[in-house]
């Protein structure tokens, strides 16, 4: 215990202080009650977590895109501030999270390639995470074609992920993004056993394994409800990792002929969702709560480990999702009840 105390006291104390600044439900309620983007910015200026980021903003002229970029930068800076407190081994463990940020940014660059209206603040990303970057962000943002994009990735693992998809000729942006997503989870699933101690590996496996199962469930659901994707293509975009959701159960879910049949089969698994007429929002909310429980249980069981750090970074990212949702709701004049429907609390 004393060894763990010395080893993790600095970084866990830092994460605990940051955790205390995360928004609570009552904070969201106050934010949702505001009537304008101006009031939204003023509110963030008066919070401990966001004051330093927004104090220089002129709330009368600030643009929504500028707000969203700044919010995202707070996530990267949170990661970097914890990284500075980490020793060499802990930094290797934090790579499990950084890889997620890198692939998220790479996915944004791909989306920009297909829609030049998308604005990416890669400079903030580069400024904060300069020591970690393994992809040429500036080149990717300026790429004009998918071939140029992949050429810029030459020598990185992502070249091998994307090139076969492009070579097939019959692909969409969705296919490219899903294969990047698969690559992330396959890589993390293998990497965790190498960089985490046995006890930490067990708790992290619960968290990441649950997320993988949930992502596969939601992917099959969306394919059936919105895209009418056939089973062969569905298999190609699912994450090839099984945790609590076994292969046979996945096959049954994919074989479901209707969404109703899919829901019925889902209720026979570890991931059943309470209720009769289950919607996508019901599933997302239930699964978010399940994932949060995994992270918070992990933190409680192993307080002197990386578990509190992983838990904080997960919750921070969800907070930014909620803050962006509220910003959009205020911008479009939605009432509080309607905005609340889109939050994941």
Please give the pLDDT value at position 276.
Answer: 79
**88-115 pLDDT, tens per residue?**
999 999 999 999 999 998 999 999 999 8
**47-93 pLDDT, tens per residue?**
999 999 999 988 888 888 889 889 988 999 999 999 988 999 999 99
21-25 long-range contacts (CB < 8 A, ≥24 apart) are 21/47, 21/48, 21/49, 22/49, 22/312, 22/315, 22/316, 22/319, 23/49, 23/319, 23/322, 23/323, 25/345
Tokens 């866990």 found at: 12
Query: What is the pLDDT of the chain when averaged over all its residues?
Result: 90
Residue 1 has pLDDT above 60, yes or no: no
Instruction: Give me 194's structure tokens.
Output: 């190498």
Please give the pLDDT value at position 24.
Answer: 94
Confidence of residue 3 (pLDDT cuts 50, 70, 90): low
Please report which residue ranges of the chain form alpha helices under DSSP H.
2-19, 25-32, 37-45, 51-54, 64-85, 88-114, 122-128, 137-142, 146-152, 157-167, 173-195, 198-222, 231-237, 247-255, 259-266, 280-301, 307-331, 336-342
**268-326 pLDDT, tens per residue?**
999 999 887 888 888 988 998 899 899 999 999 888 889 999 999 999 999 999 999 99
**217-233 pLDDT, tens per residue?**
999 998 888 877 778 88
> In this structure, what DSSP letter does residue 117 have?
T
């Amino acid at each position: 215990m004393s060894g763990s105390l010395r080893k993790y006291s600095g970084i866990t104390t830092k994460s605990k202080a940051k955790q205390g600044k995360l928004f609570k439900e009552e904070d969201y309620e106050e934010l949702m009650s505001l009537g304008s983007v101006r009031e939204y910015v003023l509110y963030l200026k008066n919070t401990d977590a966001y004051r330093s980021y927004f104090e220089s903003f002129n709330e009368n002229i600030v643009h929504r895109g500028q707000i969203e970029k700044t919010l995202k930068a707070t996530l990267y800076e949170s990661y970097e501030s914890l990284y500075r407190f980490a020793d060499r081994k802990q930094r290797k463990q934090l790579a499990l999270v950084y890889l997620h940020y890198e692939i998220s940014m790479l996915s944004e660059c791909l989306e920009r390639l297909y829609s030049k209206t998308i604005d990416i603040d890669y400079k903030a990303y580069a400024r904060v995470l300069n020591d970690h970057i393994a992809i040429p962000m500036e080149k990717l943002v300026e790429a004009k074609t998918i071939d140029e994009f992949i050429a810029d990735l030459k020598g990185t693992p992502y070249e091998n992920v994307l090139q076969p998809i492009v070579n097939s000729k019959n692909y969409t942006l969705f296919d490219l993004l899903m294969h990047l997503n698969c690559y992330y989870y396959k890589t993390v699933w293998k990497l965790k056993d190498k960089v985490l101690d046995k006890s930490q590996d067990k708790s992290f496996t619960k968290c990441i394994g649950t997320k993988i199962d949930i992502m596969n469930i939601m992917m099959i659901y969306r394919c059936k409800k919105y895209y009418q994707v056939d089973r062969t293509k569905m298999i190609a975009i699912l994450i090839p990792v099984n945790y609590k959701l076994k292969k046979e159960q996945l096959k049954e879910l994919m074989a479901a002929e209707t969404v109703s049949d899919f829901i019925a089969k889902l209720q026979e698994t570890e991931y059943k969702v309470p209720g009769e007429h289950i919607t996508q929002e019901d599933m997302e909310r239930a699964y978010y709560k399940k994932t949060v429980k995994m992270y918070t249980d992990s933190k409680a069981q192993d307080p002197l480990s990386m578990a509190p750090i992983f838990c904080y970074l997960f919750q921070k990212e969800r907070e930014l999702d909620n803050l962006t949702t509220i910003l959009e709701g205020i911008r479009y004049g939605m009432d509080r009840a309607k905005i609340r429907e889109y939050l994941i609390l």
